[in-house]
Structure 1
Amino acid sequence: MTQGALAGLRLIEMGQLIAGPFCGQLMADHGAEVIKIEPPAVNGKGGGDPMRAWGRGKPVWFPVVARGKKCITLNLRDKRGQDIVRKLALKSDFLLENFRPGTLEKWNLGFDQLHALNRALIMIRVSGYGQTGPYSARAGYGSIGEAMGGMRNLAGDPSNPPSRVGLSIGDSLAATFACLGALMALNHRHRTGEGQVVDSAIYEAVLAMMESTVPEYTEAGIIRERTGSVLPKIAPSNVYPCADGEILIGANQDSVWSRMAEVMGKPELGSDPRYNSHVARGEHQAELDALIGKWTINFAANDLLALLEAGGVPAGKIFKAPDMMADPHFAARHALQKVAHPEFANLWMQSVFPKLSETPGEIAWAGPDLGAHNEEIYGELLGLDSAQRAELTEAGVI
């Protein structure tokens, strides 16, 4: 296996749940040494990232989000623990956190303090509202950021209250932008030798995905609202019924619509004035969807997909986990991967993305036990002898 693109870089992860740790997951996937800090257990109870207990059926979320990371325990509220963070920062390229803004400063671990020790350190900060502004001190959760960024208002059917997409998408977007920002900051450091702060806010990561919703309002007074399974004026692009389920068809480009009309056995629809342009199809979106639905309902989904594929019309099933596991394209691209775990014998998860031709990255291991790498990090990296480690353990610091 070739080394990942980020091999040789070290990141200290001081966050929990998703918004910070997903950034760490992405960087670990591509070869960075990620040292995840978690609170130690007290009297043998508790401790660790709350994600260790998350998952439906079994707690299988942590093995994914902490994959490839080295996990250590450390009490960040203890001054001795804070001193250890400073020592780690001296030996690291990145420090990642998603505490409420001001928390690190309260512990004397803010960027100014750590930058004075290590001018090259890049601090990655993920929060609900960002590090500045009147809302910065508020508790920020992904769902609130999705609402403030505009996504929740557009999710779901217009006859129902705003919905969610079924994932912690705001948290994951903020973490992805944090990773992107970290790599930008790394390139800046190559030129100058100086680190900086990457400030990724959940609501802004969501806002970045909002396409033309703001200029539609400022220029035309249009406020985009929920439209269910369609985008207004983009047709045909919808979910259509089949004899045994449904499929999604995207034939909204002029040339693709002409091919769709041929596949339907009604080539005249390609030149029909009601449908022969993007604008015309948008104006007649509902009637066009109804027309297509009356045709698709006569086919089994797989038969219809084969017909559309042969005609060059983009279409596909709406996949669930079992579909992914059985799909030949997923298999051919190794999009899912089985990962060894001492507790879960059949632990499959999504692979490393994006795929790089020379440094493709890898899942080195599933999220490990609490404190699994204490001896390596505290002993080998920081040089604490066994007596010092025992003393810190007894004191509840590590």
Structure 2
Amino acid sequence: MQTTASAGTGSPFGALKGLRVIELGQLIAGPFCGQLMADHGAEVIKIEQPKLGDPMREWGRGKPVWWPVLARNKKSITLDLRQPEGQQILKDLVAKADFLLENFRPGTLEKWGLGYDVLSAINPGLIMIRVSGYGQTGPYAQKAGYGSIGEAMGGMRNLAGDPSLPPSRAGLSIGDSLAATYACLGALMALHHRHMTGRGQVVDSAIYEAVLAMMESTVPEYTEGGYIRERTGSILPKVAPSNVYTTRDGELLIGANQDSVFGRLAEAMGRPELAKDPRYATHHARGEHQAELDDLINDWTRGLSTAEVMALMDLFGVPAGKIFKTPDMLEDPQFKAREALVHVAHPEFRNLMMQNAFPKLSETPGQVGWPGPALGAHNAEIYGGLLGLSESEIAALAGKGII
């Protein structure tokens, strides 16, 4: 598996090499967008409150290992944006930046005199990336909006979980991460527009809208047919067979809902006649007999080990797979061949592993250059090198608690 290098003065890799992002905000919704951009070579300068830092520095199961992932490839500086001197320093940084990324509650930057009208006057090409619960406008804009609320409002929570239980969650911060991903997508769209016009703009990514974008045809299903999609657990209604099946020593997913694929599954089961049975011969018929078909397949898989079922599925060309946990990922040959997981050198954690930079680009691949840095680790580099402040000026700012 790939072992990454230690932090340097810049990012000598990636399609976004040469671009500079000033990252404000904290937690996940904004910083994950910064991570995506840093993964592909952008210089991401993360601004944190002096002495406190991003709360993500303390998050994780047991040891605080989330920060090394979320802040990887970034540079950390401290700056108090609530003080006029700190606000002026941010303006100086913006003059030398391509993007400003923030996920404060809407109106916070304006309260500090740092709205887009002010910052774009300093740098007309600036692209401001704004991530929030409800977006920058509308009657809910000022409400507190966490990812979980956006998932509920966008419709995802109503569809997650077993239908006999209350709405569930995916076990991950999907709403935050989706909003950050759309923010990154919007930033690159705005960058293309700037290439053509020279002008920056505001990218407004709302968590509930990022979730809504994932909701497939649920809206027209209701407006055209009066149908409201509800929780269905491990299946999609009328799409069969596609479910989790129990084996002698575990469980696995099989997806054979296309006619030709179901025919191959029937052969693998030693039951080729099933593909011609009127109850299962077509997509519609299998959907109407979904429960009994799942029971029939479960009866077969229960008599075999997971490895035996997987071998048959591969032999007959039927999509199937184990339900992976982290130990499975660490040992899987596909993960190893594509370096999907990387070992990252860290001063505290001896065996720090994390997901690699995605997607893979053939000419300008991203990478994990270094883990999330210590608080203020790049103060001297950014304030002294980028802004040209002297050591005495930097020390004076630190003495006043501004950095």
Query: 1:304-324: CA deviations, max 9, x gaps?
Result: 101111000000000000000
2:25 to 15, 19, 26: 15
- For 1:327 and 1:184, locate their aligned partners in 2 and report how far apart those are by CA, in whole Å: 36
- For 1:82 and 1:285, locate their aligned partners in 2 and report how far apart those are by CA, in whole Å: 61
2:41 aligns with 31
- For 1:205 and 1:316, locate their aligned partners in 2 and report how far apart those are by CA, in whole Å: 28
- For 2:227 and 2:398, locate their aligned partners in 1 and report how far apart those are by CA, in whole Å: 60
Q: State, as a whole percentage, how many aligned pairs show the same letter.
A: 74
Q: Please state how far the C-alpha of 1:2 moved relative to its aligned partner.
A: 6.8
Q: Please state how far the C-alpha of 1:271 moved relative to its aligned partner.
A: 1.5
**Mapped contact 1:74–1:81 kept (Cα < 8 A):** yes
- For 2:127 and 2:385, locate their aligned partners in 1 and report how far apart those are by CA, in whole Å: 23
1:39-118 matches, within 5 Å, as: 39-41=49-51, 47-118=52-123
- For 1:217 and 1:285, locate their aligned partners in 2 and report how far apart those are by CA, in whole Å: 23
Query: 1:273-331: CA deviations, max 9, x gaps?
Result: 11111111111111111111011101100111011110000000000000000101100
Indicate whether 1:204 and 2:214 are aligned.
no
- For 1:138 and 1:312, locate their aligned partners in 2 and report how far apart those are by CA, in whole Å: 50
**Mapped contact 1:2–1:359 kept (Cα < 8 A):** no
- For 2:200 and 2:286, locate their aligned partners in 1 and report how far apart those are by CA, in whole Å: 51
- For 1:349 and 1:67, locate their aligned partners in 2 and report how far apart those are by CA, in whole Å: 10
Q: Please state how far the C-alpha of 1:338 moved relative to its aligned partner.
A: 0.4
TM-score after normalising by structure 1: 0.98
- Segments of 5+ residues of structure 1 without an aligned counterpart are 42-46
1:225-264 matches, within 5 Å, as: 225-264=230-269
Amino acid at match of 1:328: P
Query: 1:205-255: CA deviations, max 9, x gaps?
Result: 000000011111111111000000001111100000000010000001111
Amino acid at match of 2:186: G
SS of 1:387's partner is helix
SS of 1:199's partner is strand
1:372 aligns with 377
**1:2–1:68 distance in 2 versus 1, CA, 3 Å:** closer
1:324 aligns with 329
- For 2:12 and 2:144, locate their aligned partners in 1 and report how far apart those are by CA, in whole Å: 41
Aligned length: 393
TM-score after normalising by structure 2: 0.97
- For 1:198 and 1:329, locate their aligned partners in 2 and report how far apart those are by CA, in whole Å: 36
CA RMSD of aligned residues (A): 0.8
SS of 2:252's partner is strand
- For 1:272 and 1:122, locate their aligned partners in 2 and report how far apart those are by CA, in whole Å: 59
Amino acid at match of 1:29: D
Q: Please state how far the C-alpha of 1:3 moved relative to its aligned partner.
A: 2.4
**Mapped contact 1:2–1:360 kept (Cα < 8 A):** no
- For 1:219 and 1:262, locate their aligned partners in 2 and report how far apart those are by CA, in whole Å: 39
Query: 1:24-81: CA deviations, max 9, x gaps?
Result: 000000000000000001xxxxx10000000001000000000000000000111111
- For 2:236 and 2:93, locate their aligned partners in 1 and report how far apart those are by CA, in whole Å: 49
SS of 2:120's partner is helix
SS of 1:34's partner is strand
Indicate whether 1:314 and 2:324 are aligned.
no
Amino acid at match of 2:260: S
- For 2:215 and 2:65, locate their aligned partners in 1 and report how far apart those are by CA, in whole Å: 31
1:298 to 303, 320, 342: 303
2:292 aligns with 287
**1:191–1:373 distance in 2 versus 1, CA, 3 Å:** same
Amino acid at match of 1:112: D
**Once superposed, which parts of structure 1, at least 4 consecutive aligned residues long, lie more than 2 Å away?**
none
SS of 1:35's partner is strand
- For 1:171 and 1:78, locate their aligned partners in 2 and report how far apart those are by CA, in whole Å: 29
Indicate whether 1:215 and 2:220 are aligned.
yes
**Mapped contact 2:12–2:41 kept (Cα < 8 A):** no
Amino acid at match of 2:394: R
- For 1:281 and 1:87, locate their aligned partners in 2 and report how far apart those are by CA, in whole Å: 64
- For 1:183 and 1:37, locate their aligned partners in 2 and report how far apart those are by CA, in whole Å: 22
- For 1:78 and 1:235, locate their aligned partners in 2 and report how far apart those are by CA, in whole Å: 60
Query: 1:168-211: CA deviations, max 9, x gaps?
Result: 00000000000000000000000000000000000000000000
- For 2:28 and 2:276, locate their aligned partners in 1 and report how far apart those are by CA, in whole Å: 50
Indicate whether 1:150 and 2:131 are aligned.
no
- For 2:336 and 2:172, locate their aligned partners in 1 and report how far apart those are by CA, in whole Å: 24
Amino acid at match of 1:357: S
**Mapped contact 1:121–1:196 kept (Cα < 8 A):** yes
- For 1:238 and 1:181, locate their aligned partners in 2 and report how far apart those are by CA, in whole Å: 35
- For 2:327 and 2:32, locate their aligned partners in 1 and report how far apart those are by CA, in whole Å: 24
2:3 aligns with none
1:361 aligns with 366
**Mapped contact 1:128–1:141 kept (Cα < 8 A):** yes
